[in-house]
Structure 1
């Protein structure tokens, strides 16, 4: 009988590294660190894109780029003074996903995922696969809050990394916020142009446009 199943296609495209085993297989850490990495991965997300993995010096535990993204067992050492919310998001969150710390601006955490996961992230307790991004209803509630506070002229989009959304979803968020008449500035905070530059496309640029509004993209880089 002739085999009519489709042939397997083996892609050589570099893949995003999301597990301890993948980091070691890529030569970015010694195999004897596997147990250490797995212990960290049980608590905190791991993610390293090909664009940044290619900049790490293999076999150098002191490499400055590698240290930003490759796990370290010391992440599990917790001082009694530490808190799961070190910047006080929860204390200034009148509705889910929105932080109103200053009178004239708010921060909306659209997503809970990133292209890369920084070992020093101050939101890492709430970020990563399985974490809850804003639902459509929760985003609508955040917009209602902004509409009801006319002193707010700037909306900051963050997460996670909000530019990990598709251009379609970015455009929907941009349009919804831009329709609030007293909002003058939209500010997107992201690492994506550095972490995964191939995802920064003309479609994404178009999705960020908001006629009559100032749009700022704040690039996080180390």
Structure 2
């Protein structure tokens, strides 16, 4: 056995080596904005919005007020964000084809003076949306995987109920923008009943995802009823809810909603934070309320050009999410949805990000990179190449530091 001083010397040398590998991130991490470091700006912009709407703090905390006062025209937006005449004209042109709306809350989160702000890019339409000739309205083939009203089924033991087309903010990269239309509408009660009846008749279905649009924009009473009906189906083991309300409308997470969700365990909520700037104190308050109600939270980020297609930004996002007790679950490769090509990135970008996360941060902060197969054929996990050789009696594997290690069987 090596002498103590020799072991200590080796340990200190290794620790120094590890410290060197993270210096590039340490130099930049404090310059990546989060919803906490920009909170003063948020409060100032919030005050301006409240003044413009002649509203109070009570109004701000009312999620129905937020929905009723979404910004939906270029003229409204120009009250807060400097817009050129061309930009106003572009927004009016785009709005005739692709609907847009921004909650007052999400408007306060963005940087009004930075056209390249990652929050702003997700919310405010760009003229490139009308220049995309490669995208499809339904790249996932959802219209061909709907055996009952509101149902999307792509896997043997689970399915989706699409309960609404309504969102607090219509993301510019949305995969279901074809459903947004011109008015908000929830799935009719008789259609929900048909969807539930389909689940009852198929005992292999153990996992039901309620989504939309944003599933949490259903009323409390409708959500309670739907979850109760699912609880009464013996073979349904878990319920999942897809929502971006934590990002765009945290006011929706009321004590009343939390009490309803607490009645129906187990419930898993998957949300979509795409940039650390979206992780705000108001979002944390809503997150805390859900966790206290026993809800398990995961994040499904979408990899988007100019927003999070950078290993340092993605690392910061995932670390911020863990701090507020949301587990980074997936990074989705962007789908080829009509009007969203300007967000597209090569698959190699996602692989590089995962490669630079692995070993450089907690395993909890390393989500799975997913490419959705066209036509509704399901999710494909894509990973860096760690297995270099697989032989009968050994394997040669690559570590996160690009060292080759031989493992004998």
TM-score (norm 2): 0.49
Q: Aligned ranges for residues 31-50 of structure 1 at < 5 Å?
A: 31-50=85-104
CA distance in 2, matches of 1:65, 1:142: 35
Compute the displacement of 1:19 (Å).
1.8
Compute the displacement of 1:78 (Å).
3.0
Compute the displacement of 1:210 (Å).
4.4
SS across alignment from 2:240: strand
Aligned to 1:163: 216
CA distance in 1, matches of 2:226, 2:154: 21
From 60, 63, 71, give the equivalent of 2:125. Answer: 71
Q: Aligned ranges for residues 1-222 of structure 1 at < 5 Å?
A: 11-13=54-56, 15-27=69-81, 29-79=83-133, 81-130=134-183, 132-211=185-264, 213-222=265-274
1:28, 1:56 within 8 Å by CA — same for their partners in 2?
no
Q: CA RMSD in A?
A: 1.7
Per-residue CA distance 1:18-73 (angstroms, 9 max, x = gap): 22221122215334311100111112221111222112212321111100000111
CA distance in 2, matches of 1:31, 1:176: 52
SS across alignment from 2:83: coil
Q: How many residues align?
A: 211
CA distance in 1, matches of 2:54, 2:227: 35
Q: 1:128 to 1:23 in 2, by over 3 A?
A: farther
2:186, 2:218 within 8 Å by CA — same for their partners in 1?
no
Q: 1:166 to 1:106 in 2, by over 3 A?
A: same
CA distance in 2, matches of 1:44, 1:28: 22
SS across alignment from 1:138: helix
CA distance in 2, matches of 1:128, 1:33: 23
CA distance in 1, matches of 2:199, 2:130: 38
CA distance in 2, matches of 1:23, 1:40: 14
CA distance in 2, matches of 1:188, 1:129: 24
CA distance in 2, matches of 1:82, 1:33: 23
Q: 1:95 to 1:220 in 2, by over 3 A?
A: same
Q: Which runs of 5+ in 2 are unaligned?
A: 1-52, 61-68, 275-409
CA distance in 2, matches of 1:174, 1:29: 44
Q: Which runs of 5+ in 1 are unaligned?
A: 1-9
SS across alignment from 2:241: strand
CA distance in 1, matches of 2:97, 2:149: 23
CA distance in 2, matches of 1:128, 1:206: 32
Higher-Rg member (1/2): 2
Aligned to 1:5: none
